[in-house]
Amino acid sequence: MSVTEVESTFEVASSPFLKAIVNQIRANDSYGTYRAWSDELLLKPYVVTKAQKREISVDGEVDPITKGRILAFYRAIATRVEEETGQLCQVVIDLSHEGFGWALVFCGRLLVVARTLRDAQRFGFDTLEKTALEGEKIVQNGVNAIQKFPDAAKG
Amino acid sequence: MSVTEVESTFEVASSPFLKAIVNQIRANDSYGTYRAWSDELLLKPYVVTKAQKREISVDGEVDPITKGRILAFYRAIATRVEEETGQLCQVVIDLSHEGFGWALVFCGRLLVVARTLRDAQRFGFDTLEKTALEGEKIVQNGVNAIQKFPDAAKG
């Protein structure tokens, strides 16, 4: 079994975060373009290896497809935080033309996630498993923030 | 004395908020385009009467000059909150092409200002005095939020 095959057998179903991304993509699929696609195929664009990253220029503007990928990632974070805490979250992605910016998830007056984005043209992770791990980590940090500052999250 | 003259005599110097907007504009004036302009002239685009608003179409994209005006307004808010509390603030303006979006000012994990923007193409106020009043009100709300949630503001 090759390395690629090992990676592709990582179970999407085992990660609530990856499931949340898939739901995001399917919810926005008004024309049914992806209806026949597997979850793994939908998530494939999130896997960008280091070698692939080097080949993506960061000179140009961030293309709409990459922007959509980043937005779906953070909307999935927001959904997972909502599921864990019962608090509604908002997502704002602010990207300059040069691929710099902010990814913000907030809830009341509390910033659940505040991440600077750099070289957003290259947004992605080494493997699907790392995508899942990174997502779950951000979700957990967000949940912790709400538990630490419950009043700000309500306000 | 006409109404216009009464309005134009509103003293910019009397409003720390208006002074903060002027400083924003002058700080970004790398080519010295506005060097000879009075503060009042620099602030004039913030005055958009109801009649003028009706004449501005909200169908098109928000033009870069209007975006700059909105950004300078909220950066001035951030500066004033910093002056009052000693806490560093970040500003994020997220505008869709249709003029909808968010204006966010945050400090640590705390959202000092979270305003939805609507018809951003028409951003402006009836008079300079109202611009000042609205700005000072938002600043005061922000300062209150930091006093209410000091730990979240520290991150």
Task: Tell me if B94 and A93 make a contact (CB, 8 A cut-off).
Answer: yes
Give the distance from CA B51 to its chain's centroid: 21
Q: DSSP code of A125?
A: B
Is the overall model pTM greater than 0.90, yes or no?
no
**Interface-testing mutation among A71, A91, A109, with chain B (most B C-beta atoms within 10 A):** A109
Residue B60, classified by CB atoms within 10 Å of its CB into exposed (0-12), middle (13-18) or buried (19+), is: exposed
Nearest CA in chain A to B141: A109
* pLDDT score recorded for residue A6: 46
Nearest CA in chain A to B109: A111
Q: How confident is the model at residue B10 (pLDDT cuts 50, 70, 90)?
A: confident
Distance in angstroms (rounded) separating the CA atoms of residues A70 and A46:
9
Q: What is the pLDDT along chain A (155 residues), one digit of tens a residue?
A: 444 444 556 788 899 999 999 999 999 999 999 999 999 999 999 999 999 999 999 988 899 999 999 999 999 999 999 999 999 999 999 998 788 999 999 999 999 999 999 999 999 999 999 999 999 999 999 999 999 999 999 97
Average per-residue pLDDT in chain B?
Answer: 92
Range scoring the smallest mean pLDDT among A1-5, A131-135, B22-26, B33-37? A1-5
- Measured between beta carbons, the chain B residues lying within 8 angstroms of A148 are 151
> What is the nearest CA distance from A85 to chain B, expressed in angstroms?
17
Count up the domains in chain A and report the number: 1
Q: How far is CA B62 from CA B28, B56, B57, B75, in A?
A: 20, 11, 10, 18
Residue A53, both tokens = 């990253």
**Cα dihedral sign for B69, B72, B76, B77?**
positive
* pLDDT score recorded for residue B55: 95
Residue B110, classified by CB atoms within 10 Å of its CB into exposed (0-12), middle (13-18) or buried (19+), is: buried
Nearest CA in chain A to B104: A92
> What is the nearest CA distance from B40 to chain A, expressed in angstroms?
30
* pLDDT score recorded for residue A155: 75
Q: Which domain holds residue A63?
A: 3-153
Residue A92, both tokens = 């704002």
Which backbone phi and psi does B111 adopt, to 5 degrees? -85, 110
Task: Tell me if A111 and B114 make a contact (CB, 8 A cut-off).
Answer: no
CATH number at residue B12: 1.10.3100.20
Task: Tell me if B152 and A114 make a contact (CB, 8 A cut-off).
Answer: no
Instruction: Give me the residue from B92, B148, B149 closest to A92, CB to CB.
Output: B92
What is the tens place of the pLDDT at every residue in B81-91? Answer: 999 999 999 99
Nearest CA in chain A to B112: A109
A47 close to A127: Cβ distance less than 8 angstroms = yes
What is the tens place of the pLDDT at every residue in A95-108? Answer: 987 889 999 999 99
